[in-house]
Structure 1
């Protein structure tokens, strides 16, 4: 049985890797064609387009892994069935349960790889790709917003700790690719939403530990007496000033990043930030749960592939099985995307919405295995 285990594992792994590389090459080709229209804009050249497309491949690897696992496993099992090798394995006491356990071990390897690409590699390379493109074109990440970039923060007694004493609305004209904020305006309010200060700065640079260094600062305060009426308005200027804030470059990057390309850690931090500021967090909470559930779809897809080894066709067996596998993979992606949108529209619980598509296909795999066992 150990020989069968190694042989089946080798066949499945090589087939899945081959299918994944083929898909990545196809997507890279279409992405490169799409990038050619931007070549010549600013300093953006062909080499930048190639680099941009290359750094987008880890993200596609994460997205395509379940489909590649499905089609690759179907191909490997269909080839074994066509050569009657799978029948010999069954005669050699390999039950459906044993075959499923072998595929499960292979699937766990691909689940780990999916987590690696989704959590570690793809978020970094996607951010680097956007930075390379923006720097080459000489543009900033907030130019798409007519009034600049807006975000909200809370003001606490001791910077990051203590009771909440107010709120702060931050407006940034531009965010440069190196993370510097240009044209900074901050509107500060007390707990009754009465304006207490207006702070402007030419630019701000993050210096670490939730601290921003503001340069050429002007602060206009609107103090109020204990009884309530407003007192004298004052304006002070300074060459530099430090601002302690819960807003970090990671949080700012979320505002113009695709949630599906972010790591679960960053999504969790930003979801918490939105919840603390009483802002809508449904989209990012949905993306967070999808990020945690999606890698396990590899196991579901491989379970769906196992029944194909028991199906026999007179002609065109392998190609027909692969075609059916492609249709199943496309259906899974469409249903996964559909449930995400329906969940947001109908305010379904994010964990349920993220699990439902995989659960449906898992039930289909169990039903298919039961059918082939009975027939």
Structure 2
């Protein structure tokens, strides 16, 4: 199994380096969930890590059996929106059915780092490390761990300060830039700690999709609320700092319901954004109205309905896929759903034949 995972990691390295024409496909069937039982929540992964991992591995067996380009993995995202905020005074809100979130802060943005960047220590940091070590110890052969410990500084800022952050970005850009860069350095400390515990190099990352990315995946949902000028003025400098530390960046942002077509054209100005990732389909990236549909610089990771051979042909034959090279250009990684293992295998085999891998 290790050799197979290593082979897939090499494939993804080539894809994101523009050295591979093949488009990896992840096929996601229905989970093997016993009646009345659901996939473990992030809270359950935190509360009983070993039991939850064992349960998740059993439920993911159909996805493993399809043997698509998916790297079998368990994702634990419990700390993503609370660890770093907790270090700068945020209180935590717990909601049924979702990951915990930082509460709105009553502090002023300019005062958050008045005493400098805080050390990476405290009860929640110790708890996170304990959870991470348990997950590493309990991860079975043939599975990788995805452990996103931090959202982007923009997402954290919006969680904690809401509209005050956006207004201040316009009225006091220097103050906001200083705040974001301090938050970036604190976030880098958190990412570095997790990478060290997991034995990863700076340019190694298993994402929550089950793919290998040579750098860092950074959740940046807040970008869609920024104007193009704000993205350029306050986001690109932050991405530059992350890129200097980790190399390529995979930028995730949800592309609906908020308008989002303005984001990718500005990200093209960055030397460090290697991929964009969404769950809402390729339309915003390469649809007929997408302004950057023919760009050949930033790889695309997205969900696509490929349930029939006709849908596979239509996607592969579409102008942005047909005319923009992947080798020497823009890589594409697709995820699609299937109703069963047999259907998933059929989709994957058809995909490979259609993309001339075999």
Q: Identify whether the pair has TM-score above 0.5, normalized to the shorter chain.
A: no
Q: In proportion to residue count, which structure has more strand? A: 1
User: Structure 2-normalised TM-score?
Assistant: 0.25
Q: In proportion to residue count, which structure has more helix? A: 1
User: Structure 1-normalised TM-score?
Assistant: 0.24
Q: Which has the larger radius of gyration?
A: 1
